[in-house]
Amino acid sequence: MTKVIEIPAHLDDRSFEQFTAGFGEWPPEGKLLFDARGAQWASPYGLIGMLTAGQALAEARQERPLFAVPNSTDVKSYWSRIGFFRYAAELFELHGKVPKSSASGPSDALLDVTPVRAMEDVHEAVNRISDTAARILRAELGLERTATGRFSMALSEACQNIVEHAGTGGWVAAQTYTFRRRLGRRVAVIAVSDAGIGFRRSLESTHAKRFGERWGDGAALEAALIQNVSRFRDPGRGQGFRQIKPFLDKWEGKISIRSGTARLAIVPAWDEDVPLSEHLPFFPGAQVQITIPAHEAEPR
């Protein structure tokens, strides 16, 4: 029997939990159908989250899942332009007509969906984003030049986490769009996701003992994001997220990390997210989202 995983009409970091709830126990038994026919929009986080699910199923040697592509021509075209279908075709059996990315025109994304498997891929992602990010971030978000440099630094550190900790590959994408509901301003978003071992397993051998019974996905995220620990003994390690934080503070940015069954966020004043969510449906690896809002002009 085929189990249907419904893709929310608007798939972002919040509705992602509806998506993950669809899997039940992990790895899910039997054939899966990812039904995106009703999809109207997906954030970079949503897009690479779907690829991560496909990757994790492949690595768990599950049956190749089906993927019903969106009915909307615009949505299909956008997903094609940003490179989603190029990688989805390797992980899913696609059902429905997919426009060729060349026929969909150039992408307007800060960074198209890009696989991250080795340090060379981190260089590739940062080099690609550097070419366009400065112009877009200045023009659309009013960010100064130094902010665009820090945006690329954040991207670099988040991607390096995949290579160093995940034990498998992952994905990165970045885009600007308008956050109408929560903020009413444009934002730049970096999404990074992997299908790897997650924060709990990565840190378990070196840090679980200290937390005792509290140890779990939430405690592991807290250790990494708040206490800046690393599994490496090198005292310079584990600082990547810590050093992103001052940049986020300055620009009212937000970072959220989901791993396993927990999600931890540093929440700016404009958002109503909860800092820590635990007991979520399990999802493999780790998913990071960094959100930088447009600079608000000083009131006169």
Partner 1 sequence: MIETIRIGHLLRETAATPYRNLITRPTGAAVRDRIEAALAESDCVTALLDFSDIELLDFSCADEVVAKLLLADPDRTGRVLVLQGLREDQHEAIEQVLIHHGLAVVAVASGHGDAMPQLIGWVTADARSAFGCLCESGPLRSFQLAWALDWSDSRSRDALGALLAHRLVRAEGELYFPITIA
For partner 1, the closer CB: 37 or 138: 138
Binder of partner 1 out of 156, 168, 206, 277 (CB under 8 A): 156
> In terms of residues, how long is the chain?
300
Check binding of 24 to partner 1 (CB under 8 A).
no
For partner 1, the closer CB: 126 or 219: 126
CA distance 82 to 190: 14
Check binding of 240 to partner 1 (CB under 8 A).
yes
Check binding of 227 to partner 1 (CB under 8 A).
no
CA distance 25 to 134: 43
CB of 208 to partner 1, least distance (A): 24
Per the omega criterion (within 30 degrees of 0), is the bond before 27 cis?
yes
Could you tell me which residues are beta bridge partners of residue 212? Answer: none
CB of 48 to partner 1, least distance (A): 20
Among 16-24, 51-59, 72-80, 149-157, which window interacts with partner 1 (CB under 8 A)? 149-157
CB of 207 to partner 1, least distance (A): 18
Binder of partner 1 out of 123, 210, 214, 279 (CB under 8 A): 123
Burial class of 233 by CB neighbour count within 10 A (0 to 12, 13 to 18, 19+): exposed
Contacts (Cβ under 8 Å, ≥6 apart) of 295: 141, 142, 143, 144, 251
CB of 249 to partner 1, least distance (A): 12
Check binding of 246 to partner 1 (CB under 8 A).
yes
Fill in the DSSP letter of residue 62: P
CB of 29 to partner 1, least distance (A): 39
Check binding of 243 to partner 1 (CB under 8 A).
yes
Check binding of 233 to partner 1 (CB under 8 A).
no
Contact 121, 147 (CB under 8 A): no
Contact 211, 229 (CB under 8 A): no
Binder of partner 1 out of 73, 146, 178, 227 (CB under 8 A): 146
CB of 46 to partner 1, least distance (A): 27
- Six-digit token pair at 111? 């960074």
Closest of 238, 93, 74 to residue 165, by C-alpha = 238
Phi, psi angles (nearest 5°) of residue 129: -70, -30
Among 12-20, 180-188, 232-240, 259-267, which window interacts with partner 1 (CB under 8 A)? 232-240
Check binding of 239 to partner 1 (CB under 8 A).
yes
The strand pair at 262-266 and 276-277 is best described as antiparallel
CB of 158 to partner 1, least distance (A): 10
CA distance 235 to 257: 23
- Six-digit token pair at 143? 């960010």
CA distance 118 to 94: 27
Check binding of 157 to partner 1 (CB under 8 A).
yes
Residues lying near partner 1 in the complex (CB under 8 A):
119, 122-123, 126-127, 130, 146, 149-150, 152-153, 156-157, 160, 164, 235-236, 239-240, 242-243, 246
